Every structure is written in structure tokens, then in C-alpha cells.
Structure 1
Amino acid sequence: MRKKLFSILFALSVVAHVKGWSETIRITTNETALVLQTAQNGRLYQLYLGPRLADGEEYARLSPALKSKTDGQAWEAYAVSGTETFFEPAFGIRHNDGNMTTVLQYVSHNVQKISDDVTETVISLRDALYPVQVKLHYQAFAKENVIKSWTEISHNEKQAVSINRYASSMLYWKRSQYFLTEFSGDWAHEANMSTTQLTFGKKEVDTKLGSRADLHVSPFFTVGLGSTPRETEGQVLMGTLAWTGNFRFTFEVDNENGLRVISGINPYASDYVLDPGKVFTTPAFIFTYSEHGTGKGSRDLQRWAREYQLKDGNGDRMTLLNNWESTGFDFNETKLDSCMQEAKFLGVDMFLLDDGWFANKYPRESDHQGLGDWQPTKEKLPNGVPALVKYAGQTGVKFGIWIEPEMVNPKSELFEKHPDWVIMLPNRERYYYRNQLVLDLSNPAVQEHVFGVVDHLLTENPQLAYFKWDCNSPITNIYSPYLKDRQNNLYVDYVRGLYKVLDRIKAKYPNVPMMLCSGGGGRTDYEGLRYFTEFWPSDNTDPVERIFIQWGYSQFFPGKAIAAHVTSWNHDASIKFRVDVAMQCKLGFDINVKELRPEEQTFCQQAVATYDRIKNTNFGGDQYRLVSPYEGNHSASMMVSTDQQQAILYAYDVYPRYGENLLAVQCQGLNPAKKYRVREINLMPGGKPGREFNDAVYSGDYLMKVGLDVFTTSKLHSRILQLDAVE
């Protein structure tokens, strides 16, 4: 009776509200405005999204057009299913009585200033007939021109309800045409950029892989508004979902050529059962709107990430030597001691021990066994991990280690002891991906186990400096012994279980850096990067392929978040070319140093020292992509320090044509009034720079309008130039 009375009173308050006045809500950065407004029916609509107006009162001029928006064409801020919505909804529910409709009406909103730069707006919506509440959250980052949005869903019905749509964001545009750039691929072929026009109907970009969710498509996109996305001009929306699991982006062009963009968890096989009083919080959708192309959008997102999202975003990163390419599974203490000596010889900060160090009943001699048994293999490492950590310290380098704690091989002691901890169908033949299965992180006991893997290693080895956290399998054989009759909650609760583990690790060991590795680019999202300092973009370390891969990821991530290792892949490329490509990002080596020629060893030592010298600009500067590898046989980009005192220009000749006509590369981001001394760095021993790169001085104006002749007709040739402002 009390609930019924409340519903009646609420409905009356809504009627009184819409008859008397409307509410306008502005979510603004220094450059962009998202304006929402209630209409005569009490519901909330998007009024405007675009460049911020100098006079905020002028948004009211758009209000008359909203008054007629009471049918399926309306731009409802969080459109629901089952009513007059003609197109894809943001929210869908099945109530206790079987009714599948909800009408969300505005209740209130509040604005909180979190800092001088960040403002959070929370808008409360409610159904007048059912006790269902939705809160829309918007965080606006003024200087970075980024908006972060997410949703909280709750109810007070007598029993659990099922929600089948629960988007994080719903945005609208009205332009003459739209072009979508998506980032897709496969293992060793990640983040390929392709652009298509969006015409009438729906285009969905999604994944259903569960854990290694980004294997085929990345959780970010760019939409060109009015024209194809370009680097330095044009209107673009750039968005990404902070979720380490299944996601879906829906782009729907309607019959009036309006575009709806809906972002969130993929509801595939995930009609989520939500108990009364519980809150379902969606992941954050992070976006920026740029009037000056993708380059400006990328710089805004990268600055935002370093400041607010990436773990230790403004901190340092360690160079390293990994043993995988040189030893694979075949190593012992003696070999690893030698690798640590090579790390010291190179001058890197750390040695990283990769896969193959664990399990005894089923020793990890291949990827067919041992996964899940995290005790050092006595035959390989009779003195365990502590002896390795100790020897690394004596050698003068730090020690890091590889783990894959979410996974298990059927041939393991863990599987024999706890088959009930594994996501696995009880009555069908199992399908194995990379000879392994996924542990059920919806289960608190499994969460405890996974946390224990890390906790034991760090308790036993307080000097352990780094984790490479791998995840090589999607979720297959989809059944949770723990969730029983709530199987549709698995995809969501798995990721939430992972976050619970990572929250505990971060709380107890806040300063331990970790790499988010997932067989390459299987996990490349900003929620994961709250816990990880960098991610592994691809197992493909061919420098030519990495130019394309790094170009794709640079659209949304700063270089310091992208791990790039120098390996023996592509013997046609010189060691200099391989190092020059990796130096754009977070530098590491995965190579047998002893197999390099003496002059190559010397070069690598000098390159590490050079990298350390310029990393402040590399890590904290603004990125400008100058020449796209997608548009020819060359590529170039540059990093410019925020004070414009230094810039680093990277230029690559990939496969130029014979007698090709070469064009000068025009710099960006410099101070036109300053003079810059240009010199070539990272040369091979005995190498000499070209005349124009040997301490020649140019104005920033000249460098940006005329440019430098950095390209050649030599295949797999590279240059790195350092530009320093002079008085």
C-alpha cells in the first residue's frame, strides 16, 4: 500500500513539474557542451551536443524545437524499450509482473565540483508506476575537454528483475553524413583502422569473448561528423568504453538522418538478474568532441589519461629485457642469471622472467600443462623465485615476473582439485582455446585464489618489481558452477570479480607496476588501465607491423601506456630500425643480446641511454601524427614538450618506390616565434647525421610551414630528430 501511495504521489509531482516549468542541465568542458532538458511529458532529452557557446543563455533558443519531441523521433537522454521508442533503446527491463515497459521521468539533479578541473553532474530519473530508478552520471574534465558518463540502475520491486539493456551512454547528432573509423583485427594483427560511411540502419561493433574480449575488435571508435575523420581538421567524436569484457557500440542512422550512438556492456547472453535494493553500475563511456580533427582529440584523451585514469599516469616507466624470445620454456637458473647480466649490460632497469617458471606435478614445459600451479618448478629453479630476485639485485637490475592467474590447464593440480572453480559446461564436450580454460571469477573462492597468487609472490619477494599479467583465452564452455540459475550474469560478474581482485592488489601493493597483457591486444581498455601502468598491444613485434599497430593505439592512448619491445622479428630490418620504432612507446627488449654484433650491442646500450634522456618529452609531451603509414610508404610523428622547448621527431621509410618523389615533413605543435636546433640522435656507432640535421637552427614557423626533408628512398630506414629551443 505504501509503495502504491508513493507511486501516486510521485506521478502527481511529475505532472505538477511539467505544467509549471522545464529544467535545463548543462554539462560543459572549456570547449564542449552537452545540454539536456526536460520536455512537457516530464522526460529528459538531449538538447545540444557540440562546441560550447560563449553565451550559455542562447541554448534556450533550441528549446522550441524540443517541445514537439514527444514521439519516437525524440532524442531522449536514456531511451527505454517498450513504449514509443522506434529505435534502439538504452534501457530495457522485465518487471515482476512480466511488463517490459518503463517510462523514466526526471526527478532531480545535482552538480558537484570535484576539483578546479572536474565537475560531476548526477541526474535522477524514475518510473512513475514501478519502483525503478536510474541515475545518469556525467564527469566533465574542463581543461582536457573530456566527458565521462555512466549509469546506476536500481529498483525496489518485491523480487529480482531482469534488465536486458543497460547502456552507459546515449548520444545524438544531426549532420549531413557520418563516417565510422573502427579498430579491428586478430592475434598479431591488432588495431587495424578502417573507415566506412554510416547510412540508414544500424551498425554494431561488439565482442562476445568474455575475458580476452578485444581479440577481434577494440573498445574505441571515431565518428567523423559531416566528413571522414581527418588528422588536423573536421568535427569528430572519439569514444571508448572502460570495461575489460564484452562491449557493444551501436550506431543507428534514422529516417531523418539523425545518428544515435549507444555505448555499453554487450547485453548478449547477459539479461542481468538484479535483486531489490542492489545497484547495477555500468562502466564509464569516455568521449571527446573535437572541432580540429583526430589529432586534437587524441591529445585531449592522452592528457586526460595521464592525469586521471592510467595507473601512475604521470610517473616513470622501466625499460626491461624479457627472456621469452631467447629462451622460450627452455631455461634454468644459470641461463636466467646470464640474461640478468645481459640486462645490466644493456643498461635497462629490469629483467622480466616470462612463462615457464612454475608447476611440479605437471611442469610448465609447454602451454599444454601446469597453468594454475604457481609454485616454482624445482628442476628448473631449485632455489625458487627468491634466488632470482636476489641475484637480480646483486647484478644491479630489478626483477619482474609473468603470471596468468585467471586461467588453468586441465593438466594441472589446480584443475584436479577444484574442477568446480572452472567455467565449464557440465554436460557437453569441452572446447579448449590454447589448451586452457578460464577460472570462474564470479566465485569469491576463485577471487581469493587469484589474489593469493600475487600476494604470495610479493610477500615472499618484497623486492619483486613488476608483473606481466597475461590472459590468453576467451571464455569458452560458458557455464558457471557458482552462479547456478543466474547464468546470464556470468559475463558481467566475471569482470566485476576481476576488478575485486585488482582492487585488493592495488590497495595492498599500490606502487607495483604491471603490464596488462592478453596474448597481444586482447585487453586494451581504460578501466583495466586503472590497475596497470601499460598494456601489451600485440605479440607481433615486426617493426613494420608495429608502426601500424602503434599508430592505431595512439589514437586513444599515450605512448607510455603502450609496451614496445625490440625483438628479432623481421631480419630485413636493422636493429636501428627496430629500436627506433619501439622508442616511440614504452621501450623494452626481448632479444638474445649475445647474438648481436658488437656494434649492434653498443648501439642498443646508447639507445637505452638516449631513451632515458628524452623520456620526459616522450612520456609527458603532446603527440602529433604527421604522416600516416596508411597513406603511403612512409610514416612520421612527433612528441612536443608542453612548454614547447623540446620535440622528438620519428621518421620511417618503410617500402618506398624506386625514384619516388619525396616531400618535406611539416612539423606541428612548435612555437613559431622560437628558434630550434635540429640534430639527429640514436645513430649507429660511427654514423653521421645529414647536414640539415647536424645542429642546424630553424624557426618554429619555418619547421611548421616548410618542414624538413626527413624521408629517403632507402627501405626500412629510420631517423629520430631532436629539436631544442635556443635563445
Structure 2
Amino acid sequence: MKSKIQLICRSVSYLLLISLCLVNQIGKAQDIIIPVETKNNALVLQVTQNKDLSNIYIGKKLGNPAEYANIPGHYKQGTDYSDGTLNSAYSTAGSRNLFEPAVTVTHADGNKSLDLRYVSHKVTRTDNNVSLLSILVKDPVYNFEVVLNYKSYYNEDVIEQWSVITHQEKGNVILHKFASANLYLQSRKYWLTQYHGDWATEMKPEEVQLTHGIKTLDSKLGTRANLFQPSVFMLSLDKPATEDEGTVLYGSVEWSGNFRVDLELDNKDNLRLIAGMNNYASDYTLKPKEVFTTPAFLYTMSDKGKGDASRNLHNWARNYRILDGKGNRLTLLNNWEATYFDFDEPKLFELIKDTKKLGVDLFLLDDGWFANKYPRNGDVTGLGDWGVNKKKLPNGVASLVQEATKNGVKFGIWIEPEMVSPKSELYEKHPDWVVKQPQRPEHYLRNQLVLDLTNPKVQDFVYGIVDDLFTENPDLAYVKWDCNTVVFNAYSAHLKNQSHFYIEYMRGLYQVLERIRAKYPKVPMMLCSGGGGRVDYAALKYFTEFWPSDNTDPLERIFMQWEYSYFYPSVTSSNHVTDWGKQPIKFRTDVAMMGKLGFDIVVSKLSANELKFCQDAIKSYDAVKSVIWQGDLYRLADPRVNSIASLVYIDDKKSTGVMFNYLVSNRYGEGSKLPVRLKGLDPNKTYRIKELNIYPETKTSIDETKSYTGDFLMTVGFNPEVNEKRTSVVLQINEI
């Protein structure tokens, strides 16, 4: 009954908005108001009398939509020298705009000016939750038009925005810049949280107050685009947002290649946000009637702080974007740190037996299983030669799959299909398939080069790598897709127009992934890129999970996984227990359980107690993993400002939770000195708290017989008793 009432209310609201647009068109031609509303927020556009399309509001939605038309009149910030284009919904260059444009072109006749005026708009409703607003704007002089698309997800408070560019001029048009979105925010101050890093140091946050001028976040790496700077960020309005307070916008470019985000504070102290593909070295020649579609810019906004914004994005991702976002994930044992490149069939058979003994679902064979002329015995040869190495695996991958099946576990395999070793048969046979400048010396990262995915023959080759593995091994259950180098000496022997390279490469990659998913729609695949070098919501359409970092030191991982959690749900984060770091096996396992659990250890070297602990922890994890993966995340104690880190996942019924607590300081006497206040529980329900992952021959210090109301746990809190002897504590919270 409640859902029917909500549906009626939304329908009435929608009709009211349409009526508002019509009334304004009839009564005041200069005031066409076009709101995009979600459950809590609104993005409001206005069409002026001369058909300029402007952003007039983004923030908490109003109870009366008719009042959106009153907003512009209450900003008294001085003269707009750009004649009404300062807050343009898609700012142009060469005409009236004086600031950073979203789109720049050279017309067929050589003219570089562009002016886009409103023509029409329409709303398409996918269902009760998802709507698409499409606005057509057109140049009054040139036959050049853009459709601005705003896809809104009502319950999740999420909007995806992209542009579709076409023309019918008498000749080609050159696109110099082609943003996906152009927002205009009005606030007293703006605080940007961005991220930076490198291999093994991913997702290091920096928060700064934006000053006048342009702040640009971008990548020019071609592949592995997030290596130095990921395409996600936060923008706080008025003051820095906290976990539970303040207005914050999360933004993310849905593109796995070069991205660009411009944040320009103008002379009126307003902020122009322009986001999309990076136009670096990418002038695009657009033929008449050709359609150029930009990737989406994804954003959510909350006036309740970072935690609420995260939960919005997590819900959207699980419901609408991540491959099998609400499905199962496989725990696994990886052989990499046990063997590196040094293995053979008997050694792998023993590791498969260890997989069963450990109690995980799958054995994952990593790098080094292929190439014969130039055997893959290190990272200097063989990449691109995907024939099974006959010396290491005389009976092929099939024998490993059979052995896994015999032991009651599944089998997965590592590939790096976009790259090639200079010392390989593939390079010798097809040097024209490699990205390199003909007249310049080759430059390598990890002794490899990039294959030219702009070439359809290369796309077929890369698709064939995956297809052949599954054709020969139908029971193959998992793929780890790696990508370890960036583009040096960008040049395609296939392309006639080198300015299209960076765009066409990524289009080629997506075409390959589309083909793979069309034939193998449900096979789990890990998105790996030398660690977290490629993590974005365009790629996660094809992958079930990603690899946050090659740095698996659990203390480091607490901080990395914490930052990733702002933007990506835990079901996507592959966390492995390894020998990195000096922490005990319990601490390493507890940290890895924050997301999708895996192991990369030598099981045979574990002590009896260590093995029993891991086996019991996996059973506990299997019992609560659905809460971790699908529950609402509440961050409780930030490791950057506390001596402990604490967070909790709560299921949608508020009946079960899993709370993770870690000591992150080695200073004397540090620990959970104060109770940790929980969030997300029902204040009227009563709960008991049980400790999980207790190490053999030890006992919990938690009194598991006591009960607490949700009110007590959220108002006073609960002390997990984290200290130098209890450095990690995992608690299960159950409604009585």
C-alpha cells in the first residue's frame, strides 16, 4: 500500500512539474523551469527568453517546485559580463562565454565560435525510480546540436549526465573539448577532497579549500589511468563535510581512460564544474551525421554528510551498475606469493589441495602459466603468447581444472590481454599491433608495451584469449584481468587520425568486454591494474570486483579500503590475506574481511593454530558476508584521526550487523579508551553482541550474555576493547 501511495505522489509531482513548465512557457516565455528531482535533491535548469539554458540550482529539493523559479532573483553577486552564460548548462567558446568551456569546436568553414540555444526537451521514464531528461540545444547559425542527458535515480539520489554531439555541416567539424557535464554551484566556500598516489600508495586523500582560478584533476596515461590520480572526488559546500554533517557532492567520471575534471571559481565566487573525457591530444574529427557520445559523469549529493552520500552511491552501484551487484562472490586462494613464476603441475596440484584444506571456494592461478619460445619465467618475456607453457603444464590448464573439480573447488586464471612483451612471438609476428612511435625508441613499464585496441584485429585477438580459455575449459570459473603498463609513444599503425587514439583505444576495450559479457555473462572477473590503476564505474559494468592495491600490508590496507569505501561498495573490493606486513594472521584476516575475502599465502607453512583460525574465520565470513556486501556502511572511527579504526555494516532490516575494529597506532597504551557509538540500528530494538574470529586457545573479553537497545548502542556506544593485545576485533550484532 505504501509503495502505491509513493507511486501516486511521484506521478502527481511529475505532472506538476510538466504543468509548471507549460504555465511558464505561456505566461512568461523567459522562465521555462526544468527540474530534475530525486528523493532529497534537485538539479534545476532554466531557459531564458533568448533560449539560453542555465543551471540555476543544485541542492536539497524544495517542497513546492513552483518556487524554483524564484531562486535566481535572490543572488545579488554583481555583473555577468558573459551576458547570461556564466551559469550555462553546457558552456561554449568563441562567443559570449569568458570562462572555461565545456565544448569547443572548429566548424567545417574554419570558424571556432559556438553558441548553443534551447530547442526542446523530453522526459522518458524507465520505471518508477529511473527517469531520463534529454534537452536539445542547437547553434542558431551552424547546423550543430547537442543533446544533454540527465538520468536520475530517484531513491538513490544519483544522477548520471552525458552529452550527445552531432552536426550536419558541409564538411567535418573538429571537436577540441567535449565534456560530459557542466554544473554550476553557488555557496560561500568550497572544499575539495581529491586523491593521489602511485603503485602501492593508492587513494591518499587531500582536502583543500578551492581558490579563484581553475583546479584540474586529470590523467593522460591512456591505460591504468588512475595510477597517479583517480577520477573520483568530493566537494563540500560552505564547510568541510564530516561523516554525518554537511553538504557534499561526490563525483566520478565513468571512463577507464584519460579523464578531466575542471573546477573553476569565478569572479562571482561561484563554482563551475566541468567533467568528462580528457581532450588532451584528442581533437576529434566529427563527420556529418556522425554521433559522438561522451561517457557519463556520475554524482550524488547529500546534506547529511559523507556517510549518507556513500550509502547513496553504494545502493546505486549494487542496483544498477556493478556486474551481479547483488550476487555471490568467491573466496579464493591465489598462488602468486607462494610461487611467483616458479611452479609446475605437481606444485599447483598441492596448492589446489591446500585450497580445499583452507576452506575457500576457488584456486586462482596467477602470472607465468603461458609462452614457450620465450617462456614466462619472469616479467621480461612471453606476454602476448597465450599458449600454455608445456614444460610447466604438460597437460595444459585442463588438468588443473580437473584437479580443482576433483578437490571440490573451482579454478580461476590470470591474464593480461592488453599488453605484450617486446620479447614474444606476438611482437615478432605483429609489430604493427603494438602502440609505439615508428621513429622513436621504445619505452617500457614492467618490460611491456600496449597492444593497439583501436585495431579490430587486435580486438579479435584479445577477445580470443578469453574465448579460447573458456572453450577449452568450460568449467573455468574466474578471471583476473590485469593491466600493468601505461601508454608511451602513443601511435597507432591502424588509425589514420592519431588524434583519435586515446578515445578509440578505450572504445576498443569496451567492445571487447561487451563481446565477452555477451557470451559469458556471469563469470566473475577481477578488474586489476597493477593495483588500483583502473577502478571506475564504466569498467565495473563488466567486472564483479576490483583489486584496490598490490600493497596488501593490512595496516596500509585499512587506510586504502577506508578511502575506497566512500565511492565503492564492499562487494567490489578484493582483499587478500598475504605475508605483507608484520601483523599476525588474525589481524590480516580481519582486515581482508572488510570486503571480498581472499588468501595469497603458503597454507602448508601455517601453524596448526593459524590454519584452524583461518578455517574458522572463513566459516564465520560465509555466515555474515551478505551483511558485509549488501548492508549499509557506517564509518564510526576514522583511522586518520583516531588510534583505532571502526566501521559497521547493517542489514536493511536493522537486525544484524558486522563491526570491524582495528588498532592503527603503536603508541603506548593506545586503544579503544572510549565506547564507539554505533549507527544505523533501530533504537527500539534490543541486540546482543558476539565476537567473531577468536584465535584458538584464546577467549573473548566481551560479555556476550548482555543485551543492549539500539538507543544505548547509538547514544552511549560499545567498547570493542581494542588494545595492544587485541589489535583487531570483529563483532556480530544480532537482534534478540
Which TM-score band applies after superposition, normalised by the shorter structure? over 0.9
1:310/1:533 contact within 8 Å kept: yes
Unaligned runs of 5+ in 2: 1-24
Residue 41 of structure 1 aligns to which amino acid in structure 2?
A: N
Residue 263 of structure 2 is aligned to residue 251 of structure 1: yes
Q: C-alpha distance in 1, partners of 2:213/2:104?
A: 20
Residue 235 of structure 1 aligns to which amino acid in structure 2?
A: T
Q: Where do 1:658-677 residues align within 5 Å?
A: 658-660=668-670, 662-677=673-688
Aligned to 2:508: 497
Aligned to 2:37: 28
**Which TM-score applies when normalising by structure 1?**
0.96
Distance 1:244 1:17, change over 3 A: farther
Aligned to 2:577: 566
Aligned to 2:567: 556
Q: CA deviation at 1:229?
A: 2.5
Decide which moves more: 427-436 or 317-326.
427-436
1:447/1:501 contact within 8 Å kept: yes
Q: CA deviation at 1:262?
A: 1.0
Q: CA deviation at 1:22?
A: 3.9
Q: Where do 1:255-294 residues align within 5 Å?
A: 255-294=267-306
2:311/2:633 contact within 8 Å kept: yes
DSSP 3-state at the match of 1:49: strand
Aligned to 2:692: 681
Q: CA deviation at 1:691?
A: 3.6
DSSP 3-state at the match of 2:371: coil
Q: Where do 1:252-651 residues align within 5 Å?
A: 252-484=264-496, 486-570=497-581, 572-651=582-661
Decide which moves more: 251-260 or 659-668.
659-668
Q: C-alpha distance in 1, partners of 2:642/2:255?
A: 34
Aligned to 1:43: 52
Q: C-alpha distance in 1, partners of 2:380/2:473?
A: 28
Decide which moves more: 201-210 or 653-662.
653-662
Residue 437 of structure 1 aligns to which amino acid in structure 2?
A: L
Q: CA deviation at 1:74?
A: 2.4
Q: CA deviation at 1:73?
A: 6.0
2:374/2:423 contact within 8 Å kept: yes
Deviations 1:670-726 (A, max 9, x none): 00000000111111112211143x232111000001111124331771000100011
Q: Where do 1:127-206 residues align within 5 Å?
A: 127-206=139-218
Aligned to 1:13: none
Q: C-alpha distance in 2, partners of 1:541/1:74?
A: 47
DSSP 3-state at the match of 1:325: helix
Aligned partner of 1:108 among 112, 120, 129:
120
Q: C-alpha distance in 2, partners of 1:673/1:658?
A: 39
1:656/1:715 contact within 8 Å kept: no
1:222/1:229 contact within 8 Å kept: no
DSSP 3-state at the match of 2:231: strand
Q: C-alpha distance in 2, partners of 1:332/1:273?
A: 51
DSSP 3-state at the match of 2:557: helix
Q: C-alpha distance in 2, partners of 1:384/1:244?
A: 33
Deviations 1:85-144 (A, max 9, x none): 111110000111111111101111110110111111111111111111101111110111
2:574/2:595 contact within 8 Å kept: yes
Q: C-alpha distance in 2, partners of 1:84/1:279?
A: 26
DSSP 3-state at the match of 1:128: coil
DSSP 3-state at the match of 1:348: coil
DSSP 3-state at the match of 1:195: strand
Deviations 1:212-270 (A, max 9, x none): 11001111000110111211100001111110000011111111110111111111111
- RMSD of aligned Cα (Å): 1.6
Q: CA deviation at 1:654?
A: 1.8
The sequence identity of aligned pairs, in percent, is: 50
Q: C-alpha distance in 1, partners of 2:153/2:288?
A: 34
Residue 126 of structure 2 is aligned to residue 117 of structure 1: no
Distance 1:712 1:618, change over 3 A: closer
Q: C-alpha distance in 2, partners of 1:442/1:636?
A: 46
Aligned to 1:61: 70
Q: CA deviation at 1:72?
A: 6.2
Q: C-alpha distance in 2, partners of 1:646/1:712?
A: 21
Q: C-alpha distance in 2, partners of 1:22/1:279?
A: 31
Q: C-alpha distance in 2, partners of 1:695/1:524?
A: 43
DSSP 3-state at the match of 1:707: coil
Distance 1:63 1:181, change over 3 A: closer
Q: C-alpha distance in 1, partners of 2:592/2:670?
A: 26
Q: C-alpha distance in 2, partners of 1:71/1:190?
A: 43
Residue 481 of structure 1 aligns to which amino acid in structure 2?
A: A
Deviations 1:301-343 (A, max 9, x none): 0010000000000100000000000000000000111111011
Distance 1:17 1:216, change over 3 A: farther
Q: C-alpha distance in 1, partners of 2:66/2:662?
A: 50
Q: C-alpha distance in 2, partners of 1:548/1:575?
A: 18
Aligned to 1:9: none
Distance 1:72 1:86, change over 3 A: farther
Distance 1:66 1:497, change over 3 A: farther
Q: C-alpha distance in 2, partners of 1:634/1:235?
A: 26
1:350/1:398 contact within 8 Å kept: yes
Q: C-alpha distance in 2, partners of 1:407/1:266?
A: 22
Distance 1:336 1:93, change over 3 A: same
2:643/2:670 contact within 8 Å kept: no
Aligned partner of 1:220 among 220, 223, 232:
232
Q: C-alpha distance in 2, partners of 1:268/1:569?
A: 38
Q: CA deviation at 1:184?
A: 1.1
Q: C-alpha distance in 2, partners of 1:702/1:19?
A: 55
Aligned to 1:722: 732
Distance 1:511 1:659, change over 3 A: closer
Deviations 1:410-443 (A, max 9, x none): 1000000001111100001111111110001011
1:634/1:711 contact within 8 Å kept: no
Q: CA deviation at 1:390?
A: 1.0
Q: C-alpha distance in 1, partners of 2:171/2:366?
A: 49
1:653/1:711 contact within 8 Å kept: no
1:247/1:264 contact within 8 Å kept: yes
Q: CA deviation at 1:386?
A: 1.0
Q: C-alpha distance in 1, partners of 2:356/2:27?
A: 71
DSSP 3-state at the match of 2:508: helix
Decide which moves more: 624-633 or 312-321.
624-633
